[in-house]
Structure 1
Amino acid sequence: MHRRFFLQSTIAAGLAAQGLLPRRAFARTSLEQGGARLDMVSDGNLVLPGDSTLEALPAEFLAELRSRYDLSADQMTPPCNHTLLRDGQRTVLFDVGAGSDFMSSAGMLPDTLDDMGVSPDDVTHLVITHGHPDHIWGLLDDFDEPFLPNAQIIMGRAEWDYWTDPATIDTIGAERQSFAVGAARRLDVIADQVVLVEDGAEVVPGVLAVASSGHTPGHMSYQVQLGNQGVLVTGDAIGNGHIAFERPEFPSAADQDPETGSSTRVALLDRITADDLLVAGFHVGDGGLGRAEKLATGGYRFNAEV
C-alpha cells in the first residue's frame, strides 16, 4: 500500500471508531466516448480575497458581475478540478493538486482518487499545465517522495525551464517567491520522471500540447480527443467561469503577464467554439466540464455539462 494512504487509512480508522470521521463528497462530471472515459475530479478549493483578480474591473461592471454569478465581495472559493483520462491502457492525470502544504481547503486529490478506486501506482502519465502550487505541490507525498511513482511526467519545456531556473526567485516578485521555491524543490525530486514537450506535440495518444502562455511563461493547455468529441484542458489559461468567458480580453491580475494572458484567452475561446470543443476548466464551477457559448455581445458563457 502507498505509504500516504496507509497513514490516512490508519488515521481514518481511529476517527471512525470515535464517530468523528466527516463525510466527504467529491463532485465529478464524466464523459465516455471512443472507449475512453474522462472524469473531472476534485482537489477541493482555494480561498482567496473577494477582490482578487477582479479589482481592476470598472465598478459598475464588477457589481453586475457579482450579482449575475453570486460572487462574494469578501471571499472567493474557486474549485480545483482535475481531469482524469482512462482508456484501458493508460491512466492520465492532468496536474497533481496542492498537496498538504498550500491551503487546508485544497489537497484532497489523493482522497478523491482513493474514493474512485485509483491508486497512485495506477497513474501512468501526469500531464502538467504549469508550475503554480495548486497544480504541482502535490508532486510529493507526506514523506517527500514522488506521489505518483510510476508515472511519466509531461511538462512544457519553457515552463520547466522557468521554474527550475535559479534566477526565477529574484524576478517573479515578492508575493510569488514561495511559488518559485516550492516548485524548484519538487521538480528537482521528480526530474528523472520528466519528459519535456513543445507546442503541438502528441504527449500521449490522442492528447496534443497547446501553448497558452501568459498565466505563466510556459503555460500549456492540452487538447484531448475522445471519439468524435474534443476536450480542451485549459489549466489556468481560462481561470474562472465568469469574467474569463464574458470578457476574455480583460487583463487578469492572476496572470504573470496580463496582456499575453488576455490574448491567449481570446485565442483559446475562438478555438474552442470553432472546433466545438468541450472545456475542462480547472477553476470553473459546476464540475468544470462544459461548453463555451458565443454571445451576441461578443463574449462567451460557460454552460456546464450535467
Structure 2
Amino acid sequence: MQITRRAFTTGGLMLGGLALGPGLGLPARASARFGSMQIDMVSDGNLVLPRDFITGPMPAEELAAILTRNGITGEALTPPCNVTLLRHEDRVILFDVGSGSDFQPSAGLLPETLDSLGLAPEDITHLVITHGHPDHIWGLLDEFDEPFLPEAQILMGRAEFDYWMDPGTLDSIGAARQAFAIGAQRRLEAVADLVTFFEDGAEILPGVAARLTPGHTPGHMSFELRDGSESLMVLGDAIGNHHVAFERPAWESGSDQDPATAAATRVALFDQLASAQMPIAGFHLPGGLGRVEAHADGGYRFQPA
C-alpha cells in the first residue's frame, strides 16, 4: 500500500503498527516523580503516517544519514502518542486527550491505558490542551458524543481555541488539513462551555505555567511543571520527533502549519532545555520522558529517561 500525505491528513490511512507491552497488551509506561508531583506517560497508541509528511521539505542527502543513524527505514513513520498524566495534591491532570476512535486504528488507546493505572475517566479533574490537532483532542468526545472526561475542567489557550473555531480556518488551513479543522470545530463546540481560557505565561494550576511555543499550530502551548527547584517541560508537539527535530532543529518540517516559526521555536527551546538540563515530556518521543543533550555537531540528541 502506498502511504500518501492525503491518506494521513484525511484520516483515511488504515494501517496498524502498535507495539504491545509484554503480558498487558499495552505499551510500556514511563514514570517520574519530583517533589510532590507524580508523572506517568499514558499511551494512546501510535500514528502511522507518510515519512514525507515530516521530511518533505528537508535536504535529502543529509536527511538520509540522520534517518539511517536513527534506524528509520521505509516510507512510513509510526510515532508513539504519549499523553502526560500529572498527579499533584488533589488534582489528576491530563495534558491532551488522545485521538479517540475516529482518527487512526492504531491510536485511541487512552481509555485502556488509564484503566491499567486504576483510573476511570471520571477521576480526571483537569484536562490541559496543548493544541487542536486530531491526535491531541479528537478524544474529547466518547462514542455517544458526550464528554469523555465528564468531571474535568478543560483548560486551553485562548488563541489556539479561537483559531480552530474561526470559520476562516477551514479555507486558510489548506485542503490536506481541512479534516483537522472540521473535527476540531465539532469537538470544541461541544465542550466550549467547559473550557477555561488562559494566555502565555499564566500559572494555570498550582505548579503549572503556560509557555507559548507557536508554529506547529498558531497558539501551540507547552507547560512548565515546577515543584520547588525541580521542573519538567511538557512539550506537546513543539518538538515532534526524536530524530531530525533534535539533530537539525532549524530545518523546516512538513508537519508544522507555520514551518519557519516552528523551527525558530525549536531552536529556542533546545537552547533552554539543554542549558538548564530540564527533563521533558514529549507526545511523540519514545517512552515520552527524557532529556536534551547538546551534540558536538551543533545539533542535539534525545536521551530517554
TM-score by length of 1: 0.90
1:301 is aligned to 2:297: no
Q: Percent identity?
A: 59
Greater displacement, 56-65 / 71-80: 56-65
Q: Return the alpha-carbon distance in structure 1 between the equivalents of residues 298 and 270 of structure 2.
A: 11
Deviation of the 1:217 alpha carbon: 0.6
Deviation of the 1:82 alpha carbon: 0.8
Deviation of the 1:227 alpha carbon: 4.6
SS of structure 2 residue aligned to 1:111: helix
Q: Is the 8 A contact 1:32 1:226 kept in 2?
A: no
SS of structure 2 residue aligned to 1:52: helix
State the AA in 1 paired with 2:113: T
Deviation of the 1:161 alpha carbon: 0.4
Map 1:115-264 to 2 at 5 A.
115-264=116-265
SS of structure 2 residue aligned to 1:101: coil
* Alpha-carbon distance change, 104 to 153 in structure 1, aligned in 2, over 3 angstroms: same
State the AA in 2 paired with 1:262: A
Greater displacement, 96-105 / 28-37: 28-37
Provide structure 2 residue ranges, at least 5 long, that are not aligned to the other structure: 1-22
Give the corresponding residue for 2:81.
80
Q: Return the alpha-carbon distance in structure 1 between the equivalents of residues 260 and 37 of structure 2.
A: 37
Q: Return the alpha-carbon distance in structure 2 between the equivalents of residues 126 and 245 of structure 1.
A: 28
Q: Return the alpha-carbon distance in structure 2 between the equivalents of residues 260 and 109 of structure 1.
A: 31
State the AA in 1 paired with 2:159: A
RMSD of aligned residue pairs (Cα, Å): 1.2
Q: Is the 8 A contact 2:100 2:108 kept in 1?
A: yes
Q: Is the 8 A contact 2:41 2:82 kept in 1?
A: yes
SS of structure 1 residue aligned to 2:86: strand
Q: Encode CA deviations 1:59-102: one digit per residue, 9 max, x unaligned.
A: 22122112111112221100001100002300010000000000
Deviation of the 1:229 alpha carbon: 2.4
Give the corresponding residue for 2:288.
288
Q: Return the alpha-carbon distance in structure 2 between the equivalents of residues 246 and 176 of structure 1.
A: 27
* Alpha-carbon distance change, 40 to 226 in structure 1, aligned in 2, over 3 angstroms: farther
Q: Return the alpha-carbon distance in structure 2 between the equivalents of residues 237 and 266 of structure 1.
A: 10
Q: Return the alpha-carbon distance in structure 1 between the equivalents of residues 44 and 174 of structure 2.
A: 27
Q: Is the 8 A contact 2:56 2:253 kept in 1?
A: no
Greater displacement, 173-182 / 268-277: 268-277
Deviation of the 1:23 alpha carbon: 5.1
State the AA in 1 paired with 2:267: V
State the AA in 2 paired with 1:284: L
Deviation of the 1:297 alpha carbon: 1.5
Q: Encode CA deviations 1:257-301: one digit per residue, 9 max, x unaligned.
A: 00000000011111212322111111111x110010011221110
Q: Encode CA deviations 1:23-53: one digit per residue, 9 max, x unaligned.
A: 5122211111212200111000000113321
SS of structure 1 residue aligned to 2:215: coil
Q: Is the 8 A contact 2:67 2:243 kept in 1?
A: no
Deviation of the 1:236 alpha carbon: 0.7
1:277 is aligned to 2:252: no
Give the corresponding residue for 1:40.
41
Give the corresponding residue for 2:5.
none
Q: Encode CA deviations 1:107-131: one digit per residue, 9 max, x unaligned.
A: 0011100111111111111000000
Q: Encode CA deviations 1:104-158: one digit per residue, 9 max, x unaligned.
A: 0000011100111111111111000000000000000111000011111111110
Count residues in correspondence: 283
Q: Encode CA deviations 1:223-275: one digit per residue, 9 max, x unaligned.
A: 11145321111111101001111111111110000000000001111121232
Q: Return the alpha-carbon distance in structure 1 between the equivalents of residues 221 and 239 of structure 2.
A: 11
SS of structure 1 residue aligned to 2:118: coil
Q: Return the alpha-carbon distance in structure 2 between the equivalents of residues 84 and 225 of structure 1.
A: 15
Provide structure 1 residue ranges, at least 5 long, that are not aligned to the other structure: 1-21
Q: Return the alpha-carbon distance in structure 2 between the equivalents of residues 29 and 23 of structure 1.
A: 15
State the AA in 2 paired with 1:243: V
SS of structure 1 residue aligned to 2:52: coil
